[in-house]
Chains A and B, each alone.
Chain A
Amino acid sequence: MKKHTIVALVQDQPGVLSRVIGLIRRRGYNIESLAVGHSEQPSISRLTIVVESTQVEQVVKQLYRLIEVIKVSDVTDDPTVEREMVLLKLHAPISVRHEIVAMCGVFDAKIVDVGSSTMIIEMSGTPSKVQNFIDTIRSYGIKEMMRTGRIAMVRGSRGHNADQYVESGNGATAPVAN
Chain B
Amino acid sequence: MSQELTGAQIMCEALIREGVEVMFGIPGGAIMPFYFAMWEYRDRLRHVLCRHEQGAGHAAEGYARSTGRIGVCIGTSGPGVTNLVTPVADAMMDSTPLLAICGQVGSHVLGKDAFQETDITGITMPITKHNYLVKNASELAYVFKEAIYIATTGRPGPVLIDITKDAMQKSCVPNWDRKLDLPGYKPTYQPNRKQLREALKLLRQARKPLIIAGNGVIMAGAHAELRHFAERLRLPVITTLHGIGAFPEEHPLSLGMPGMHGWVHCNRAIQECDVLFNIGGRFDDRVTGKASTFAPNAKVIHVDIDPSEIGKNVKVDVPIVADARMALQALLDELPVKEELADLHAHASDWMEYIRELQDKHQGKQQYINRAAVQNMALPPHDVYAALNRHIAERGNIIVVTDVGQHQMWAAQLLDWNAGPRSHITSGGAATMGFSVPAALGVAIAHPDKTVWVVCGDGGFQMTNQEMATIIQEGIKNIKVAVINNGYLGMVRQWQELFENKRYSGTPLSGPNFAKLAEAYYWKGMTVEHTNQVQAAIEEAQATNGPVLIDFRVEREVNVFPMVPQNASIGDMITENSGA
Binding site for B on A (CB under 8 A): 10-11, 14-15, 18-19, 22-23, 26, 44, 57-58, 61-62, 64-71, 165-166, 169, 171-178
Nearest opposing residue in chain B for A10, CB measure: B184
Check B183–A70 contact: CB distance below 8 A: yes
Does B126 belong to the interface (CB within 8 Å)? yes
Nearest opposing residue in chain B for A60, CB measure: B308
CA distance A61 to B183 in the complex (A): 16
Check B125–A11 contact: CB distance below 8 A: no
Check B122–A171 contact: CB distance below 8 A: no
Residues of A contacting B133 with CB < 8 Å? 14-15
Known contacts: A11-B184, A176-B321, A178-B319. The answer to whether A19 contacts B308 by CB under 8 A is: no
Task: Please name 14 pairs of A and B residues whose Cβ atoms are closer than 8 Å in the assembled complex, sorted by A.
Answer: A14-B133, A22-B125, A58-B311, A65-B306, A66-B130, A66-B184, A67-B130, A68-B184, A70-B184, A165-B183, A174-B188, A174-B307, A177-B307, A177-B311
Does B372 belong to the interface (CB within 8 Å)? no
Known contacts: A15-B133, A58-B308, A61-B308. The answer to whether A173 contacts B187 by CB under 8 A is: yes
Dominant secondary structure at the B interface: loop
**CB-CB contacts below 8 Å: B161-199 with A:** 181-188, 192, 195
Does B38 belong to the interface (CB within 8 Å)? no
Nearest 6 interchain pairs by C-beta: A61-B308, A171-B183, A165-B183, A70-B184, A174-B307, A173-B186
Q: Interface range on chain B: under 10, 10 to 19, 20 to 34, or 35 or more?
A: 20 to 34
Check A176–B188 contact: CB distance below 8 A: yes
Does B310 belong to the interface (CB within 8 Å)? yes
Residues of B contacting A69 with CB < 8 Å? 184
Check B307–A176 contact: CB distance below 8 A: yes
Residues of A contacting B219 with CB < 8 Å? none
Nearest opposing residue in chain A for B155, CB measure: A65
| Set A23, A67, A175, A177: member contacting B182, Cβ < 8 A | A67
CA distance A68 to B321 in the complex (A): 20
Check A172–B319 contact: CB distance below 8 A: no
Known contacts: A22-B126, A176-B319. The answer to whether A58 contacts B183 by CB under 8 A is: no
Check B125–A15 contact: CB distance below 8 A: yes
CA distance A57 to B316 in the complex (A): 14
Residues of A contacting B125 with CB < 8 Å? 15, 18-19, 22
What is the minimal beta-carbon distance from A60 to any residue of chain B, in angstroms? 9
Nearest opposing residue in chain A for B308, CB measure: A61
Check A18–B122 contact: CB distance below 8 A: yes
CA distance A150 to B182 in the complex (A): 28
Nearest opposing residue in chain B for A57, CB measure: B311
CA distance A26 to B126 in the complex (A): 8
| Set B121, B183, B308: member contacting A174, Cβ < 8 A | B308
Check B183–A177 contact: CB distance below 8 A: no
**B99-136 interface mask toward A, CB cutoff 8 Å, 1 = contact, 0 = none?**
00000000000000000000001100110011001000
Check A11–B321 contact: CB distance below 8 A: no
Residues of A contacting B307 with CB < 8 Å? 61, 64, 174-177
Check A176–B183 contact: CB distance below 8 A: no
Check A172–B308 contact: CB distance below 8 A: no
Does B42 belong to the interface (CB within 8 Å)? no
Does B228 belong to the interface (CB within 8 Å)? no
Residues of A contacting B554 with CB < 8 Å? none
| Set B181, B192, B316: member contacting A169, Cβ < 8 A | B181
The residue in B129, B183, B186, B311 that gathers the most chain A C-beta atoms within 10 A of its C-beta is B183
CA distance A178 to B302 in the complex (A): 12
Residues of A contacting B183 with CB < 8 Å? 11, 44, 70, 165-166, 169, 171-172
Does B312 belong to the interface (CB within 8 Å)? yes
Check A67–B150 contact: CB distance below 8 A: yes
CA distance A44 to B181 in the complex (A): 13
The residue in A62, A65, A69, A165 that gathers the most chain B C-beta atoms within 10 A of its C-beta is A65
Check A64–B126 contact: CB distance below 8 A: no
Nearest opposing residue in chain A for B321, CB measure: A176
Residues of B contacting A173 with CB < 8 Å? 186-188
Check A67–B184 contact: CB distance below 8 A: yes
Check B126–A172 contact: CB distance below 8 A: no
**B288-322 interface mask toward A, CB cutoff 8 Å, 1 = contact, 0 = none?**
00000000000000000011101110001001010
Nearest opposing residue in chain B for A13, CB measure: B132
What is the minimal beta-carbon distance from A10 to any residue of chain B, in angstroms? 7
Residues of A contacting B184 with CB < 8 Å? 10-11, 64, 66-71, 165, 171-172
Residues of A contacting B321 with CB < 8 Å? 174, 176-177
Check A62–B308 contact: CB distance below 8 A: yes
Nearest opposing residue in chain B for A175, CB measure: B307
CA distance A172 to B312 in the complex (A): 21
Nearest opposing residue in chain B for A61, CB measure: B308
What is the minimal beta-carbon distance from A65 to any residue of chain B, in angstroms? 5
Check A64–B186 contact: CB distance below 8 A: no
What is the minimal beta-carbon distance from B408 to any residue of chain A, in angstroms? 27
Residues of B contacting A58 with CB < 8 Å? 308, 311-312
